Amino acid sequence: MAIVNNNLVAKIERLKKQKNAIILAHYYTLNDVQDIADVVGDSLALAQEAEHLQADIVVMCGVRFMAETVKILAPNTKVLLPDWQAGCSLAESCQLADFEQFKQQHPDHIVVSYVNTTADIKSLTDICCTSSNALAIVNSLPKDAKIIFAPDKNLGNYINAQTGRNMLLWDGACHVHEQFSVESIVELKQQYPQAKVLAHPECKKQVLLLADKIGSTAALLAYTQQSPSTQFLIATEAGILHQMQKLSPQKQFIPVPPVDSTCGCTDCNYMKLNTLQKIADVLEHETNEILMDENLRQQAQKSIVRMLKISNNNGNLLNKK
């Protein structure tokens, strides 16, 4: 296996040089994918990277909405997705026709969408946000603004609680983050009483109430580095443990188990579709290219550019406690 992987890594490196390509990867991807990526980051960092690309080809090791975001921001770059099935349950929970109707029912509302949406939804959005900058984005809007927030109801509820807003929430959720429960955390706390509980804001409210730190993947990672604590219970997709462990090898990271899932783990099955073999294949044959209608791209771009402007001028990492 190690020899196969070494050969694949060598092939990927050769193809990258030959084709002026780079590899972007989200923290939830497989360890060996993170290890060969030029940039590993949260969804905000990956979008920011797309703003200043020098490469001709980007292989986006994440999910489709992340690859679409790169294409929207860098239309002249060829963007490849290693596995065409790498979708996102949260993005899927907000379909164009339903959302159009919802928006029409509330014509006086500003639309704020989480980046975990399709390009279609972004084209109906006034301003995007990620979990890193959600509070800054919503706080940048007038206090009395009427706001629709889509698609994640858990993140929406959390922003409402933190900002005192009363945003109208789309009823969407992530199938991975909905798996974390109060019971599992309480049980683990008995075993690790000193451990800090870290949770992504896509988790349910009851879980967030138990957290010592709520934040985006990047914010949680930064917390583990800065905190004097040595044990952490992690209530987000388990791929993030790889960077946590790499950056703080002396500390202990315990993934919170799911209530119920087919793998018994908290892996995002979509993120884990990205493999070294598929990266080598798409780089070699330039397949699985993200293509987008130019009108749609320009419409969707406005909401992301607005987000990046505010985000680049403000502190980012979603902070609580």
Question: Applying CB under 6 A, does 112 fall inside the site for ligand SF4?
Answer: no
Report which of 247, 178, 165 is spatially closest to residue 208, judged by C-alpha positions. 178
82 vs 79, 168, 173, 227, 293, CA distance in Å?
A: 10, 35, 24, 36, 21
Residue nearest to ligand 13P (CB): 42
Whether residue 151 has a cis bond before it, omega within 30° of 0 = yes
Q: How far is the CB of 94 from ligand 13P (least distance, A)?
A: 14
List the x/- string, 35-74, binding to ligand 13P by CB under 6 A: -------xx-------------------------------
Q: How far is the CB of 60 from ligand SF4 (least distance, A)?
A: 12
Joined together, the tokens standing for residue 298 give 């320009």
SS3 content of the chain, % helix, strand, coil (to 5): 45, 15, 40
Identify residues 21-40 at the interface with ligand SF4 (CB under 6 A).
Answer: none
Question: Applying CB under 6 A, does 93 fall inside the site for ligand 13P?
Answer: no
List the x/- string, 265-304, binding to ligand SF4 by CB under 6 A: ---x-xx---------------------------------
Nearer to ligand SF4, 8 or 94 (CB): 94
Return the sign of the alpha-carbon dihedral for residues 29, 32, 33, 39.
positive
Nearer to ligand 13P, 217 or 301 (CB): 217
Interhelix angle 2-19/276-285, rounded to 10 degrees, is 30
Question: Applying CB under 6 A, does 235 fall inside the site for ligand SF4?
Answer: no
Question: Applying CB under 6 A, does 158 fall inside the site for ligand SF4?
Answer: no
Contacts of 309 (CB under 8 A, 6+ apart): none
CA 166 to chain centre: 24
Question: Applying CB under 6 A, does 83 fall inside the site for ligand SF4?
Answer: no
Single out the residue of 130, 133, 288, 301 in contact with ligand 13P (rule: CB under 6 A).
130
Nearer to ligand 13P, 113 or 216 (CB): 216
Looking up tokens 């509330």, which residue turns up?
A: 106
Report which of 236, 252, 302, 45 is spatially closest to residue 244, judged by C-alpha positions. 252
Cα–Cα dist 102/177, whole Å? 25
Question: Applying CB under 6 A, does 197 fall inside the site for ligand 13P?
Answer: no
With contacts defined by CB under 6 A, name the span among 78-86, 126-134, 179-187, 297-305 that binds ligand 13P: 126-134
List the x/- string, 137-176, binding to ligand 13P by CB under 6 A: -------------------------------------x--
Cα–Cα dist 318/167, whole Å? 18
Q: Is the CB of residue 61 less than 8 Å from the CB of residue 29?
A: yes
- Chosen from ligand SF4, ligand 13P, none, partner binding at 180 (C-beta under 5 to 8 Å by type): none
Could you list the residues that contact ligand SF4 (CB under 6 A)? 63, 88-90, 116, 174-176, 237, 268, 270-271
Could you list the residues that contact ligand 13P (CB under 6 A)? 42-43, 116, 130-132, 174, 200, 202, 216-217
